[in-house]
Amino acid sequence: MKGVTMSGLIVVGADGSVAATAAVAWAADDALRMRAPLRIVTAVHRRPYDASRLAAPGLHDALTEAGGEILAQAEATVRSRQPDVEVTTQLTEGDPVAVLRDQAEDATEIVLGSGGLGGHTGTVLGSVSIHVAGHVHCPVVVVCPEQNVPHREIVVGIEDSEADDAALGYGFEQARLRGSRLRVIHAWQLPIHSSGISYDMNEVRAARTQAVVDRLAPWRKRYPQVPNVEDVRCADPVEALADASAHCDLIVVGSHGRGAIRSMLLGSVGRGVLRNACCAVAVVRT
């Protein structure tokens, strides 16, 4: 059985910040691994400056010029780091979340920095990453600028739900491309309202472990070349994944993609991991 193929366009957001520069470097490496073209996008958001008290002659031209400089620097980063990657740039006017949502229509993956102010463009990239991850259907990778030492391990957090397969598919393929080990973490907790109820912890743990083994079985057949291990523990999922992020290169979490409120589509675990992880985090929608 063939593995999941990730091909097509990778889009990375650039705003001139340290975090965005780290995202550009990460995207360049991933584009090389995936043999995919890379598009660098900068959003010029004029609305915050359009109030009459802030308006100044030539301001719009200055914002556009600054955005062009950011793109040029980001393109130079890609060409010096991965000269074989096909790279293009795009300067777009509008709210960053809306711009990136539009970019996702033909993207295989969107890569963003975990935080930072984009100076003259008026884009706070870190403030849009959670909103983008909760709105688009392609994987969204949020890159931490402090991550430097490779660990050669990918971690996928699963919860024994329909969101797991999308996360596992992405995680196994990333591990294959990188030649890394895959660790699948399933952290579970007893129900909050469980006072007076007796649980056989060994029995619960065995059942949870078997569920994870069953979920992994088809992916292990699909990716026999990827070393992997299941890690089942009684713990808070966000804390377990945040702790694991100190010893891996990428955390992958699934997102159900359902819910009445769009900003809540990401889920509490996904939002918590994005806020607390010290490595790159990929959010993969069902």
Q: What is the pLDDT of residues 189-215, one digit of tens each?
A: 876 655 556 667 888 889 999 999 999
Is the confidence at residue 90, as pLDDT, over 90?
Answer: yes
CA-to-CA distance for 111 and 10, rounded, in angstroms? 8
Which pair of tokens denotes residue 144?
A: 């931490």
CA-to-CA distance for 79 and 103, rounded, in angstroms? 22
CA-to-CA distance for 269 and 141, rounded, in angstroms? 15
CA-to-CA distance for 151 and 258, rounded, in angstroms? 33
Strand partners, 91: 42
> Which letter does DSSP use for residue 113 in this model?
E
pLDDT tens-digit map of 25-51:
999 999 999 999 999 999 887 655 555
Name 258's Cβ contacts closer than 8 Å, sequence gap at least 6: 265
Is the confidence at residue 148, as pLDDT, over 80?
Answer: no
Taking the model in full, what pTM does it have?
0.86
Could you please state the CATH topology (level 3) that the domain comprising 153-285 is classified under: Rossmann fold (3.40.50)
- Every domain range in the chain assigned CATH 3.40.50.620: 9-143
The yes/no answer on whether domain 9-143 falls in CATH 3.40.50.720 is no
Confidence category of residue 7, pLDDT binned at 50, 70, 90 = low
CA distances for 269 relative to 83, 84, 145, 187, 200, angstroms: 37, 37, 21, 11, 26
Residue % of the chain over a pLDDT of 90:
56
Is the confidence at residue 117, as pLDDT, over 50?
Answer: no
Angle at 236 between CA 233 and CA 241, to 5 degrees: 80
Is the confidence at residue 124, as pLDDT, over 80?
Answer: no
What number is the average pLDDT over the span 72-86? 97
CA-to-CA distance for 213 and 48, rounded, in angstroms? 51
Q: Supply the pLDDT for residue 275.
A: 87
At residue 245, φ and ψ (nearest 5 deg) are -65, -20
